[in-house]
Amino acid sequence: MEKWKKEYEEIKVPEELKDRIEFSVHRAQREKRRRKRSIYKTFGSMAAVLAVVLILPNTSREAAAAMQQIPVLGNFFKVITVREYQVEEDHYTADVQVPEVVSETPEGSSEEVTQEAQQSVDAINFDIQKATDELIQQFQEEMESSEEGYRSLDIKSTVLTDNDRWFSLELVMFEASGSGYERHRHYTIDKTTGKQPALADFYGDDYVSEISEEVKTQMRAQMAADENIIYWVNDPDMGDENFQQIAENQDFYVNADGHVVICFNEYEVAPGYMGCVEFVLNDVTE
């Protein structure tokens, strides 16, 4: 027995395997979709990440040894589905999964941070509930009042970031009635404070001007590199519809690398085929 124990402890974890596991745990997030407006399949969730945690230790001693060196995942927030709304009729389809963020209190957390985290979670859940209730009500009213036409509603969520510092959740709302329209909402919590950060917290009072110029710079660079990319910036045909600046309450999230990501819905700054677009700011949050 001692011999086997010694052999196990001396196992050298392959770097490739270790990196792959760490990547799965710390950066389990979907690839950003920029051009598709299709009905979404089920997104990756915490359950998918936990499957990695639960299954890998049984596959090999190397995997088990690697897992011992990875911090516990998701010990502060988790996302559960609190409501499902499904419709499958000739002209109407709906696939809605309403998420709710749950705050957990890890050992050693201060009372102040715990209270702030709960307030942030309550505000996020209220906003999600309000947005989804409105869309479901609109869908039901149209389904009851009209026997013609086609309409679909799809609402899903996914955790984009869940590391030692940041938690970011994305809510995706897709409506189709002839043509499709997709909207995203993002929610971020700073785990060290329990608060939802604002852009001014990162970039100061002049954040609108500073971020807007950076977004325009990225737009021009992307268009110069690819003729298929179009943004409404300095376009003589668009006139007042050209992108001027971000909103004071501009949608954003913090990604796994600690970068602020500015988000726009379909048709806000580009033609519909561009989908929902995002711009990663170079500054890393501290």
Cα 260 to Cα 254: distance, rounded to the nearest angstrom: 5
Cα 214 to Cα 267: distance, rounded to the nearest angstrom: 20
Ramachandran region of residue 267, left (φ > 0), alpha (ψ -120 to 50) or beta?
left
Q: What is the DSSP annotation of 141-164?
A: HHHHH-SSS-EEEEEEEEEEEESS
Cα 73 to Cα 90: distance, rounded to the nearest angstrom: 43
Per-residue confidence at 105, pLDDT binned at 50, 70, 90? confident
Q: What is the pLDDT of residue 45?
A: 38
Q: What is the pLDDT of residue 211?
A: 97
Q: What is the pLDDT of residue 148?
A: 75
Q: What is the pLDDT of residues 176-214, one digit of tens each?
A: 987 889 999 999 999 999 999 999 999 999 999 999 999
CA-CA distances (angstroms) from residue 189 to 13, 34, 54? Answer: 34, 25, 27
Q: Rounded to an integer, what is the distance from CA 258 to the centroid of its chain?
A: 14
Q: What is the pLDDT of residue 285?
A: 62
Q: What are the contacts of 22-30 at 24+ separation with CB within 8 A?
A: 22/70, 24/49, 24/52, 25/49, 25/52, 25/53, 25/70, 25/73, 26/162, 26/163, 26/256, 27/256, 28/52, 28/159, 28/162, 29/158, 29/159, 29/160, 29/161, 29/256, 30/158, 30/160
Ranges of beta strands (E only) in the chain are: 77-88, 92-103, 151-162, 166-177, 179-190, 252-254, 259-264, 277-284
Tokens (6 digits) for 255: 């990604």
Cα 41 to Cα 106: distance, rounded to the nearest angstrom: 32
Lowest-confidence range among 60-64, 160-164, 207-211, 264-268? 60-64
- Domains, the chain, in order of start with CATH, read 198-286 (3.90.640.20)
Q: Which residue has the tokens 């502060």?
A: 76
Q: What is the pLDDT of residues 226-243, one digit of tens each?
A: 999 999 998 888 888 899
pTM above 0.85, yes or no: no
User: Per-residue pLDDT for 139 more than 60?
Assistant: yes
Per-residue confidence at 259, pLDDT binned at 50, 70, 90? very high
Lowest-confidence range among 135-149, 211-225, 237-251? 135-149
Q: What is the pLDDT of residue 119?
A: 96
